[in-house]
Chains A and B, each alone.
Chain A
Amino acid sequence: MALAPAVTDIEQLKGHPAVARVAGWNPRAVEGVKFDRDEMTIYVERSAIRQASALLRDDPTCPFNYLSDITCVDWHPSEPRFEVIYHLLSIPNKERVRLKVKLSGETPALDSITSVWPGANYFEREIFDLFGIRFNGHPYLRRILMPENWEGHPLRKDYPVEGYR
């Protein structure tokens, strides 16, 4: 089975309910799209993530009513360094979409979406703990897996696998 090349042209992907919804709301909120290996990715502008996720949750035709996961990837040393990744699931439509927000390496921060999905709480705390990304408006942004007095953020690429000795 050969892999089909990724589609990144927004005009071709307008048919996807999530793309249509976010682009229809504010075309500038969509920085790019990618359809690869049957998975849809929308690159969302940093300040629009909270509204975009609320919009997708309340979509009347294809409600993305379930937040599967939030995670982060560190692309050190390139810039923008971090990508925060949201996996949304539409239970009625059996559809998934991935939202991505790019963040710079200097004091990375973005809006928390705990007001939209209370379930984002622990996921965002985990990213704060392991990547050092701040979520503005999070109700309890403290380390969750590592001890409180831990130095550094272990999942960053410039953090050695064996830890600091």
Chain B
Amino acid sequence: MAHLTPTPALEPGQDKTMILNMGPQHPSTHGVLRLLLEIDGETVVRMMPDIGFLHTGIEKTCEAKFYHQVVPLTDRIDYLCPMTNNLCYALAVEKLLGLEIPPKAQWLRVMLNELTRINSHLVWLGTHAMDIGAMTVFLYCFREREDVLRLFEAVSGQRMMTSYFRIGGVALEPPLDFFDRVRKFADAFPSKVDEYEGLLTGNPIWVMRTKGVATISAEDALALGASGPTLRGSGVDFDLRRDMPYSGYENFKFKVPVRQDGDVFARYMCRVAELRESIGIVKQALDGMPSGPVKANAPKVVLPDREKMKTEMEALIYHFKIVTEGFAVPEGEVYQAVESPRGEMGYYVVSDGSAKPYRVHMRSACLANMQTLPKMCEGRLLADVVAAIGSIDIVLGEIDR
């Protein structure tokens, strides 16, 4: 929302360029991104992204809430991967508290995180393909996304804003038939990925629109702070889940897809391969799901069970205290990063020893990834801008916070 009046520095004799305003209500900007494009005919000479239209001041709001009240706010940052944000915030506060999480909760978190990744990638694939002109893929992807959302609804009661992870574990035991339903989905899903790939990967139109388009080198991507598939599509083999594991990811075996070309097609191939790897992790989590509690044994932090609260004096007191005055967190600061579907999602939480966070900062993967857009698009055709935006998979809610 910053530069309302563009002032492009035009060289003398270059008055053949014009300024084109793209967005904020352009369908391919996936939200409310505004791009100021200086174009020479069909070629983009300069690009200036303009953001802030979705800024809601979540970081400021967090400072006025108790620690446990922040969890629902984290859903609303990136509405396509709520569980990843829940997880990252919960991990950060747990690290501040020095809290240990029971294995079942960790595995549940991993499983749901990978389902979230699938959910997010399906929205990306559908909308990205639709931007480029392949309408059918969208319908296919949303068919499977519906299945994932039903699983979320079963486990948390909500389709999108799940708020299922809590500081110290997860909100409640999943319903009885939940794991069977997840397994049914996990068994059916790989063949669905084959269907998407059948529609796109070998499709000559798709290949022409994506191969060699919006390329970025590994050096540029690193320097500009890109992460996730945007970075791996340029040949940098780095995935936080494998290289700096959190929440028990070290117990899972999976490959990190890397492509060398750095174009839209490479990023597409990375994400589609990630879909397959994610479903593999979900299956591993189902096979090895430990038994035991889903909440840490920390009565001062974790809300007691409903049944206990009604029968035990002590549990009732803790419940009352947590709800009315929160829980104090020892002084300190923590930066916790997780691999979100878009890259490195980081939470920096500062505590001053009180029951409210002194500062919560979200490191948005999209904000950094978006800085690569001008590099990708400048000197290329206007129509490729749409492909480039789709390929970095931006969510404006996360950029603007």
Contact = CB atoms under 8 A, between A and B. Distances in A.
Contacts of A69: 335, 346, 348, 361, 363
A51 interface: no
Range, interface on chain A? 35 or more
Contacts of B323: none
Contact of B1 (A3, A123, A143): A143
Contact of A161 (B64, B224, B370): B64
A147 B4 CA distance: 8
Given A1-B99, A87-B348, A71 B361 contact: yes
From A2, A66, A159, residue with most partner B Cβ within 10 Å: A66
Interface stretch (B50-58, B161-169, B248-256, B382-390): B50-58
Interface string B90-105: 0000011011100000
A96 B61 CA distance: 28
A144 B2 contact: yes
Interface in B310-336: 330, 332-335
B358 A73 contact: yes
A3 B64 CA distance: 26
Contacts of A125: 2
A94 interface: yes
Contacts of B241: none
A146 B55 contact: yes
Contacts, number: 114
A119 B51 contact: no
B51 to A, nearest CB: 7
A98 B207 CA distance: 42
A63 B371 CA distance: 22
A148 interface: yes
A119 B344 CA distance: 14
Contacts of B52: 143-147
Contact of A122 (B335, B337, B361, B367): B367
Interface string A128-147: 01100000000000111111
Contacts of B55: 145-146
Interface string B343-359: 01010101000000011
B225 A94 contact: no
A155 interface: yes
Nearest to B56: A145
B371 A121 contact: yes
Contacts of A71: 348, 361, 363
B238 A119 contact: no
A104 interface: no
A9 B223 CA distance: 33
A102 B1 CA distance: 29
Nearest to A71: B361
A147 B1 contact: yes
B244 interface: yes
Interface string B63-90: 1100000000000000000000000000
23 contacts: A39-B334, A65-B222, A68-B363, A69-B346, A69-B363, A71-B348, A74-B359, A91-B243, A117-B223, A118-B223, A119-B224, A122-B367, A122-B371, A123-B367, A130-B59, A143-B52, A144-B1, A144-B51, A145-B55, A147-B1, A147-B52, A148-B3, A161-B64
Given A66-B222, A122-B371, A146-B52, 18 more contacts: A6-B332, A37-B95, A37-B332, A41-B333, A68-B344, A74-B359, A87-B335, A91-B236, A119-B224, A125-B2, A129-B2, A146-B1, A147-B2, A147-B4, A148-B3, A155-B59, A159-B60, A161-B63
